[in-house]
Structure 1
Amino acid sequence: MPYWKALVWFLTITSVFMSASYTMLVPFLPMYLIDELGVAQSDVNIWSGLIFSISFLISAIMAPIWGALSDKKSHKAMAVRAAACLAISYVWGGFVQTPWELFAMRSFQGFSAGLWPACLAIMTSTAPREKMGWCLGLMQDGSTAGGVFGPLIGGVLAEVFGMRASFYFAGAALGLIALGLIVFIKGGEQKKVVKTVEKKKSGGSMKLLKVPVIQRMLFAAAVVQLAVMLVQPVLPLYIAELQGSMDNIVMVSGIVFSVVGISGVFAAPMWGRLGTNIGYRWALYVALLGGGIFGVVQAIPGEITPFVIWRFVGGIFFAGIFPAINALFAENTLPSERGRIYGLSYAAQQIGSVAGPILGGLMATYWSNSIVVMAHGFVMILLVIMLYLKRPKNQDPGSGETINVESDSAEETKTA
């Protein structure tokens, strides 16, 4: 088996563990604050907001820094660093006794961020260009699958062993990832593809930010993440409205959250192949438009069953968004710039993660939960319209062929 093919399967398994470790804990943090750390129920929303947001804010600052170090040193070294630090943070979370200690743990977790961008940099620097869409789709598939099974695993662990056991389990999973990266990833993988001429052409993060296609994709990544997080604070309450009661709301909400991931597990590889065939830009347009339309449609039914069905259909389209964005980043950067570009992308997503819940909460306060659900679809529709109007006019958008990095970046900079 070629090394790149073995690598994509290893990184996909890594994505499953990484995503599951996060999602087995985050949905239960408010209950952890109340049951284990003694926070009063009247104060839990304030503490939850602080503890959620601090990690996103710090990771938004640190991600570009880690990405630049990844390009200068080694993608492998940065991936091992992130996995090991995250393992420590999860185990630390199992020992905390006060909300301030949990706040400190989440701050350290934000500082440690960078595992997913480093894995993307490793994969895009190793995979053949004609297989890049399939590889990124498969990795996204793994991340989605972990997001589906994580809350279920966390719920079972909390029920059987207590909530602290979930932290220890997540720490063990990240520790295994760190060991796997040390053993499996070939050291200095980017040095094989970075020649002296590329090093001269490669610039810093500021140079990347001047390339129009990079600007558009970073903006898209932030807006899509904002749209996702926009609906997160209100979804359980909206589900309760649809079913007419709060009965079994935790279990029902878990199922509704999971349907998007379940459809994404099946759809992600298809989007990788579609991007290879028609071009990643057009695949992104289709995914955004479909996700936006069904995001609006799901707010129309007044019953829970059709709402879940439309969320499932919307998940099929949503699964194609980030693989296309990541592939476009890879096509428009040098291998020596992959760590920086995925670090910038991660930072952009963290900004969306901070802004989305705040905006969604304000909209729900002044309007209604259904308006927030509908708005998350409209945001993606507006985004795809903007991207289409701003598309480069000097390329064949449907060829599916790889864009020449140097000539495309230079041409786009001239026409910006």
Structure 2
Amino acid sequence: MAKWQVNLIVLWVGQFLVMAGMTMIVPFLPLYLQELGLHDPHSVATWAGVIFAGNFVTSFIFQPIWGGLADRYGRKVMLLRSGFGMAIVMTLMGFSTSAWHLLLLRLLNGTVSGFVPAGVALMSATTPREKVGFAMGTLQSGSVAGSILGPFLGGLLAEWIGFRNIFFVTGATLFAASLLAAVLVKETFDAKKALQKPKQSMLAAFNELRRISQLPSLYSVTFLIQFSLLSVMPLLPLFVQQLHGQDEMLAFYAGLVGSVTGFSNMIASPIFGKLSDRIGPEKILVTCLLGAAVASVPQAFVHNVWQLCAARFFLGIFLGGLLPTVNALIRKYTPNGMESRSYSFNTSALAAGNMLGPVVGGAISGVMTIQQLFLVSAVLLLINGLWARKSILLRQKSTHPPS
């Protein structure tokens, strides 16, 4: 088995464990806050939102810094720094005694985070160019699988061992993923050569990368993907309640609707990745953006939960070709030696979309229904697809990737 294939298997398992561990807290975060002494429903909801977003705020700021260090000292070093660092922080969350403690630790977690983007950068640097699409798609499926099963496992563990102990389980999971990567992942990195290059500030690196016109376009695509998709998330459980009514199965159906896109995403990601290696990632990206725009429309016209599940499963198929293709294109157009910084700027764009999408969606929910938000999301994805066609696909013939 080739080195890149071993790396892919290990990093797939690692990203699955990391994302499963990170999302285990999602189902019970408001309940854990009640255990810490908050009882007013408005206070619980406010703190839960702030604490959840805190991770993305510091991640947005620090990812480019870690990316610059990865290009100088190696991607595997940054992978292990992040994995073991998050393992410690998540374990400390189990000792929290107030909402403030939890918020500060979430901010710290965002500061040290970066296992997934470091894994993507390492995988892209060690994979043959003709296999990058397949590798990115497969790696994405591991993250998505972890994101799907994490909340489910978290809900089960909350019943069995209590809220606080889940943080200890999560810390152990992150430690196991990092230890696996430390032992099995191999990276060919010339540290002496990297250190001989002149140091470059984050701003200077961004200015160099933005001169490659496709890269700012790809960062914009990433932001708009996350923003348009997550803008409906705060209202999705309420929409399920509206369709299904209030009964004992409501939580199950809300979880099903929230995760069904992940299942189709997980299935489609490796397929689109392999296809992008054959016909080009530019075509796959534009096709999936336009397909996601079309697939978003039926959600606005469903009359029951099963129709909504079918519509979101259909949407997830096209979502499976988006972020892996963006990652493959970033590798294609990024100069050698700057891969980690380039991916880190994309991670910041992703974090910004994760932050602003739910906030804006929740803020405008007073003037728009979720059906209208589905249509707005479709329009944003359509604009995104047309923008990607103009700024990336049509420039492909006249622009050669840097060597």
The TM-score with structure 1 as length reference comes to 0.91
Secondary structure of the residue aligned to 1:86 is: helix
Secondary structure of the residue aligned to 2:219 is: helix
Distance change in 2, residues 1:330/1:194 (3 Å):
farther
TM superposition shift of 1:31: 1.9
TM superposition shift of 1:246: 5.3
Is it true that 1:319 corresponds to 2:320 in the alignment? yes
TM superposition shift of 1:380: 0.9
TM superposition shift of 1:386: 1.8
TM superposition shift of 1:193: 12
1:137-185 Cα offsets, whole Å, 9 max, x none, are 1100111111111111111100111112221111101111221222122
TM superposition shift of 1:376: 2.0
Secondary structure of the residue aligned to 1:66 is: helix
Partner residue in 2 for 1:254: 255
The answer to whether the 8 A contact 1:296-1:378 is kept is no
Structure 2 CA distance, aligned partners of 1:394 and 1:221? 18
Partner residue in 2 for 1:169: 169
TM superposition shift of 1:295: 1.1
Letter in 1 for 2:24: M
TM superposition shift of 1:102: 0.4
Q: Which stretch shifts more, 296-305 or 384-393? A: 384-393
Instruction: State how many pairs are aligned.
Output: 400
For structure 2, list consecutive stretches of 5 or more residues without a partner in the other structure. Answer: none
Distance change in 2, residues 1:208/1:223 (3 Å):
same
Letter in 2 for 1:88: I
Is it true that 1:78 corresponds to 2:78 in the alignment? yes
Structure 1 CA distance, aligned partners of 2:174 and 2:208? 33
RMSD across aligned positions (CA): 2.2
Partner residue in 2 for 1:405: 402
Secondary structure of the residue aligned to 1:335 is: coil
Structure 2 CA distance, aligned partners of 1:394 and 1:156? 49
For structure 1, list consecutive stretches of 5 or more residues without a partner in the other structure. Answer: 407-416
Structure 2 CA distance, aligned partners of 1:315 and 1:264? 5
Q: How do residues 338-349 of structure 1 correspond to structure 2 at under 5 angstroms?
A: 338-349=339-350
The TM-score with structure 2 as length reference comes to 0.94
The answer to whether the 8 A contact 1:293-1:378 is kept is no
Q: Which stretch shifts more, 235-244 or 25-34? A: 25-34
The answer to whether the 8 A contact 1:15-1:142 is kept is yes
Is it true that 1:105 corresponds to 2:102 in the alignment? no
Q: Which stretch shifts more, 15-24 or 370-379? A: 370-379
Partner residue in 2 for 1:26: 26
Partner residue in 2 for 1:288: 289
TM superposition shift of 1:26: 2.2
1:82-121 Cα offsets, whole Å, 9 max, x none, are 0011101111111101000001110111111211111011
Structure 2 CA distance, aligned partners of 1:100 and 1:136? 37
Structure 2 CA distance, aligned partners of 1:194 and 1:257? 46
The answer to whether the 8 A contact 2:244-2:250 is kept is no
The answer to whether the 8 A contact 2:16-2:145 is kept is yes
Partner residue in 2 for 1:54: 54
Structure 2 CA distance, aligned partners of 1:391 and 1:404? 12
Partner residue in 2 for 1:17: 17
